[in-house]
Chain A
Amino acid sequence: MPSADCLIPLPVRFFKAVISKLKDGLAKTREVVFGGLKNLILGRKLDEQLINDVEVMLLQADVGVAATQKLIDSARADFKSGKLKESKDLLEHLKAGLRELLGGPQTELRTAPEGFKPTVILVTGINGAGKTTSIAKLTHMLKQQGLSVMLGACDTFRAGAVRQLEIWSERLSAEIVKGQQGGDPAAVAFDACKAAIARGVDVLVLDTAGRLHTQDPLMRQLGKIRSVVGKQIEGGPHETLLVLDATTGQNATRQAEEFGKVAGVTGIILAKLDGTAKGGVVVAVRAASSIPVKFVGVGERPEDLQPFDADAFVEAMFSE
């Protein structure tokens, strides 16, 4: 007996799928589609008050005082000199500035040189940012592209951390290399590299324990993991991703700075963007460093990872 779904004409089914996907927590996308506050701006006359209101939006998106001031000052100057005439011009002006800052071609995942395997991806960040879950999502994405993935459970510290990654590896059918609770994470990285080479996998993703960027010994440990990887696999880790929690405020700039310095971060995953937080702090992060945002996390399921889209992100910053 055919299921009821088959009786619904294809376009309707498509729409239903899209809508349920939107409802499922893709708040960002939903906002982009429905416009939200953006219309509120566009419906108004361009004046000082509107500029002030837009400034408030940026501040409330966690862009930070300094970066907001810079953006608003330049907009205000252009408004005074008559370059910006309508609210649409203001919005475009700001969006262009933000897009230029956030976008660019560096948002692609880095890989080992053509013909070499495996690509090693090291995932770092502070406690509870969303590292392990992001790894699960990344694994899902890579496997969808037909690549084989192996996981290395280098978080030997937090209770249940290894088991958490292991459950993901089972759900996603990816091999996993584990060490002992409380063991040396660099040793696990070593074993994982060896195994990845032996098994000929395309990508090795290493999970690490959460650490605060202020904890010197733990930060140095990241350096040790990196050098262990580099010795096993030419040029590895090829990509070092810093996971930032989108609800984080200005402290994220400190995180990017320190992890960037010590762990050689080459990209950012902005997790938890499915809530009401706008994650605007990446604007401040990007203004201070060259680290690009590469992915955004929008939920807790494997499919909830999206490549970073500067346009959509900027649109969402100006919507309710």
Chain B
Amino acid sequence: MFERLSEGFSSVLRKLSGNANLSESNVREAMTEVRAALLDADVSLEVVDAFCKNVIADAVGREVTKSLKPGEEMIGIVHDRLVQLLGEMPAIPEGASAQEAAQALMADGPGVIAVSPGPAIVMMCGLQGSGKTTTCGKLAAWLKKRGRSVMLVAADLQRPAAVEQLATVAQQVERDLPGGAAVTFYGEPEKSAEYGKAVGVAVGVCQRAVSAARAKGVDTVILDTAGRLHVNDDLMGELQQVKMAVRPHQIFLVTDAMTGQDAVKSAKAFHERLAVDGLILTKFDSDTRGGAALSVKSVTGAPIRFIGVGEKLDALEEFHAARIASRILGMGDVISLVQKAKEQVSEQEAAELEAKMAKGEMTMEDFLKQLRSLRRMGPLKSLLGLLPGIGSALKDVHIDDKQLDRVEGMVNSMTPGERKKPGDMAFSRRKRIAAGSGTKPEEVGGLTRQFATVSEMSRRMASMSAAQKVKAVKELSAQGGPTSMIPGLQGMPGFGAGKGTTATRSIKDRFKKRK
């Protein structure tokens, strides 16, 4: 996804972090590299240049906040501009708890419009092969899950077997995907014709489909139109005719996330003709750097609503500007991580833990519990990849999940009293624990020391206001990793310990810096 772009940014900003001030010359120098990174990520040239100009204007002459380094200040500026470009960050209410803050950041966007009386009419448009038909199916699944009935309408009469493709997709959603509403299909396959011979026929098909949907009381109608080039006047005209005939409530432009510089031209043309309401970027599961997201968003001004992350019909995600912007910046996807963690830790557990943390009463038991839930969340490496600054450092490092077994072993070999307050342990105790877990006394010492750091960090974090927390997380991110977000993770000894690669060392160094 945005990983490669992230790496580019990381290196640029690292360079800046040595400098004491944001002078015009060092800002400009950093921005030439940012520019190259964005271009390599396929952000269109005009968008890149406008973006860089804005950042330079914001940065030059800005007094660096006392507590921040220039590199961090610069990250802040680039981040804010990126978020602005990708979409607004939702407001976090004053005095919100950490959980409420996270919730606000993750709140569902409007997604697919609901209207009463129905049906809501949604129209898809885009270039050939961008993923419209598949995305129709995904939206149907998304709606079905929310209890809203859907009719999928085959308005592509040009691509051979396009009608059949949508019919199959509709059937698959109806049969295989969860939810409590019906997904039906409307098509007039006999109207299909060779290229250029059925232009305009789709208008009638859409009208009849909408009438049928209204009669049946369907909540949402999704029109799957044929792919077309933005320079094809006849076919673009057909879309306008459909728009006039059925007056869709929402028009989505579907764009392939791998698109290069041309993204601006096609998006602009579709937007000029149809005034699109939302953008959907597909094939985000590839290793594209995804710069097209910035391009299409910037030229249309329409919000990015969803991203497609696979061929399967449940591979659709709502889009979150703040998350992606952080990702681009190499700040990792803190919020995704929080969300993942939330799925594993019950609300109550989380609240209890938060209370304990605030009082500095976190125990080794809690630590172990966290560790276990972490492990349930998935392979460690993919999880750590979500953390700022670590993703790229870990690229070539082999992480052995077995290391975690050692930690578990050590905790299990402690007495209840030791687990509650491990503190500074006498050598004899460490020796006993090491013997019981097949580890070395030094490892036990390392674990208890790291545990002390984590609980101290956690205590400090817990007493902050929500706004402060978000800020602290951001600042920690800039330094290399808010691992304290997940109690226990930071204290985990030796990722790949003993292998001694530079990458592992640099992660450790970063941990040290914060102690």
Please give the residue numbers on chain A whose beta carbons come within 8 Å of chain B beta carbons, in ascending order: 25, 27, 56, 59-62, 64-66, 126-130, 157-161, 163-164, 166-168, 171, 210, 212-214, 245-252, 254, 272, 274-278, 281, 299-301
Contacts and interface: CB of A to CB of B under 8 A. Distances in A.
B230 A275 contact: yes
A201 B285 CA distance: 39
B118 to A, nearest CB: 27
Given A25-B229, A126-B286, A128-B256, A163 B160 contact: yes
A247 B160 contact: no
B165 A245 contact: no
27 contacts: A60-B45, A158-B165, A159-B165, A160-B165, A160-B168, A163-B164, A210-B311, A212-B285, A212-B286, A213-B286, A214-B286, A245-B258, A247-B266, A249-B42, A249-B261, A249-B263, A250-B41, A250-B42, A251-B258, A251-B287, A275-B231, A275-B266, A278-B262, A281-B260, A299-B195, A300-B128, A301-B194
A167 B160 contact: yes
Interface residues of B, number: 48
B162 interface: yes
A166 to B, nearest CB: 8
Nearest to A159: B168
A182 B266 CA distance: 34
A59 B261 contact: yes
Contact of A248 (B41, B168, B260): B260
Contact of A65 (B36, B127, B288): B36
B215 to A, nearest CB: 27
Contacts of A64: 39-40
A281 B40 CA distance: 11
Given A159-B172, A164-B160, A251-B42, 6 more contacts: A163-B160, A212-B287, A213-B287, A214-B285, A275-B229, A276-B266
| Majority SS at the chain B contact face | loop
Contact of B283 (A59, A127, A159, A166): A127
Nearest to B36: A65
A55 to B, nearest CB: 10
Contacts of B130: 128
B129 A171 contact: no
B307 interface: no
Given A245-B256, A249-B259, A251-B288, A127 B232 contact: no
Contacts of A251: 42, 258, 286-289
B265 interface: yes
A59 B39 CA distance: 8
Contacts of B487: none
Contacts of B488: none
Given A248-B260, A301-B195, A56 B45 contact: yes
Given A65-B39, A212-B286, A249-B261, A25 B232 contact: yes
A161 B166 CA distance: 11
B168 A250 contact: no
Contacts of B287: 212-214, 251, 254
Contacts of B162: 160, 164
A248 B165 contact: no
B159 interface: yes
Contacts of A254: 287
B129 A130 contact: yes
Interface in B134-171: 158-162, 164-166, 168-169
Contact of B262 (A59, A129, A164, A247): A247
B119 interface: no
Nearest to B129: A128
Contact of A164 (B161, B169, B261, B291): B161
B161 A163 contact: yes
A249 B45 contact: no
Q: What 8 A-B pairs are tightest by C-beta distance, nearest first?
A: A249-B260, A128-B129, A160-B165, A249-B42, A159-B168, A277-B262, A167-B160, A163-B161
A65 B37 CA distance: 9
A275 B262 contact: yes
Contacts of A157: 311
A43 to B, nearest CB: 23
B292 interface: yes
Nearest to A215: B285
A301 B194 CA distance: 8
A27 B230 CA distance: 12
The residue in B128, B131, B292 that gathers the most chain A C-beta atoms within 10 A of its C-beta is B128
Contacts of B127: 247, 272, 275
Contacts of B265: 276-277
Contacts of B261: 59-62, 249, 277-278
A97 B165 CA distance: 44
Contacts of B291: 249
B230 A276 contact: yes
A130 B129 CA distance: 7
A113 B194 CA distance: 36
Interface in B165-207: 165-166, 168-169, 172, 194-196
Given A164-B161, A272-B128, A27 B231 contact: yes
A117 B230 CA distance: 42
Contacts of A66: 40
A22 to B, nearest CB: 13
B158 to A, nearest CB: 7
Contacts of B44: 60
Given A127-B131, A160-B165, A275-B262, A171 B194 contact: yes
